[in-house]
Amino acid sequence: MTGKISLALIGVGNVATTLVKGFEFYKNSTQGLWHPKIAGLTLNDFTISAVYDIDASKVGKKIGDIVKNHKSDFGNLTIQPGIAEDTAPSHIAQNGQVKSASYDEFVNALKNVKPDFVVNLISSGMEKSSEKYAKAALDAGCSFFNATAAHTVTDQTRKAFESKGIMILGDDLMSQFGGTAFHRGMIDFMASRGIFLRKAYQLDVGGNQDTQNTMAEETRERKRQIKTQSIAIESPIPFQSTAGTTEYAEQLGDSRVSYYWMEAGGFLNSPVELDLSLRTNDSTNGCNVIVDSIRAAKKSLSSKDFAKVDIISAYAFKNPTKKMHIRECIKAFEDSFLN
C-alpha cells in the first residue's frame, strides 16, 4: 500500500472536529488508541482532503475557525457546501440559512479531490441526504462510510460499489464503549456464565446536538429499532427489550448516560437483577472505531478482498448487513487486520 488514506468528511459537527483533533494528537502519542496499528497503518497515514457542511454559519469558514485553539494540518481547509435533500435540522434553521450545492456540483467537487473514503457524519434524521451522498460517492468513484442511521447499505448498493472496486460500509456507527456495545457485552457475559436474560431496557440521555436531532419521533423510532435488534443478537434466547434515546438534556453537553435495568434467571430460576448507569463522552467514543475500520477497509481494498466487508461492518456498525456476536466480530477483525 502506498500513499495516505484520504478522507472527505461530510458534516463538520462533533465527530468530525474530534477526528481533526485526534489526527493532531496522535502524531506523537498512542495513548487512548484501541489499536495503534491496523494493517501496518497508524493515524499518521490519514489525510483529510475536503470537508463539507450545509450550515451557512460553517460553509466558507476554515476548519481552524471551527476547531479553535487547536493546531491542525487541516486548519486551512475551507468548508464546502454539501447537498441538502431533507428539511434542515432545527439548529441550522436557527443559525441562519442552509448553504448547499447541486448534486452535480457536489459530485464534480468530489471528483476533483478524489478521496479514498467519503465519511458521512451528517445529522441524524437526514435520510435522503445520506442516500444521496452514498450515490454521489459511487458516481465519483470513492468508497463510502456511513456513520448515520440512514439505510444506505443494501445488497444492491454493495454490488454497485464493488463492481467499481470500491466499498460501502454502514450503517449506524457503534461506538467503542457506548450504550449499545456495553449492553451487548453484558448480555454476552451473562450468557457465557449460564445466566439468561428475561427482560431489559437501556434508556439513553444525551446533551449534544445529535441527541437533540434524534428526539424527532421518526428518527428516535428508527434508532430504537436498530439498537434493540443489535442488542438482541447477543442472547441465545428471546427476551423482552427496549433500547433507545429517551431524553435530550442540554446540561450533559457532549456526554451521554445510559441507564440499564436487566432481569435474568439462574439455577432454579433464581432472580438476578442489575441496575446501573454508564456515562461516556459521545464524540470521542466513535473515533477509534472510525479510524480502525477505515484502515481495515483500505487494506481490504488494496487486496480486492471484498468479503472482509462483513467483518469490518459487524465490528463498526449497529446495523450491518450481516450481524455477528460482539466477541466474534472483534476477534475476526483483530485476526484479519492486527499485524
Ligand X SMILES: NC(=O)c1ccc[n+]([C@@H]2O[C@H](COP(=O)([O-])OP(=O)(O)OC[C@H]3O[C@@H](n4cnc5c(N)ncnc54)[C@H](O)[C@@H]3O)[C@@H](O)[C@H]2O)c1
Chain residues that interact with ligand X, rule: CB under 6 A: 10-16, 52-55, 82, 84, 92, 121-124, 126, 129, 147-148, 172-173, 175, 178, 208-210, 282-283, 285-286
Q: Which is nearer to ligand X, 126 or 169 (CB)?
A: 126
Q: Which is nearer to ligand X, 54 or 187 (CB)?
A: 54
Residue 32 phi, psi (nearest 5):
95, -5
Q: How far is the CB of 235 from ligand X (least distance, A)?
A: 22
DSSP 188-214: HHHHHTT-EEEEEEEEEEE-SHHHHHH
Q: What is the spatial distance between Cα 327 and Cα 288, in angstroms, rounded to a whole number?
A: 17
Q: How far is the CB of 223 from ligand X (least distance, A)?
A: 8
Cα dihedral 77, 82, 86, 87, rounded to 10, equals 60
Q: Which of 21, 339, 320, 298 is nearest to 142 (CA)?
A: 298
Q: How far is the CB of 243 from ligand X (least distance, A)?
A: 14
Residue 115 · residue 125 · CB < 8 Å: no
Cell readout for 76 is: 486551512
Q: Which is nearer to ligand X, 50 or 147 (CB)?
A: 147
Q: Which is nearer to ligand X, 49 or 239 (CB)?
A: 49
- Nearest residue relative to ligand X (C-beta): 13
Q: Which is nearer to ligand X, 107 or 147 (CB)?
A: 147
Q: How far is the CB of 163 from ligand X (least distance, A)?
A: 26
Q: How far is the CB of 37 from ligand X (least distance, A)?
A: 23
Q: What is the spatial distance between Cα 332 and Cα 328, in angstroms, rounded to a whole number?
A: 6
Q: How far is the CB of 324 from ligand X (least distance, A)?
A: 18
Q: Which is nearer to ligand X, 116 or 171 (CB)?
A: 171
DSSP 79-130: EEE----SPPPHHHHHHS-B----HHHHHHHHHHH--SEEEE-PPTT-HHHH
Residue 311 · residue 329 · CB < 8 Å: yes
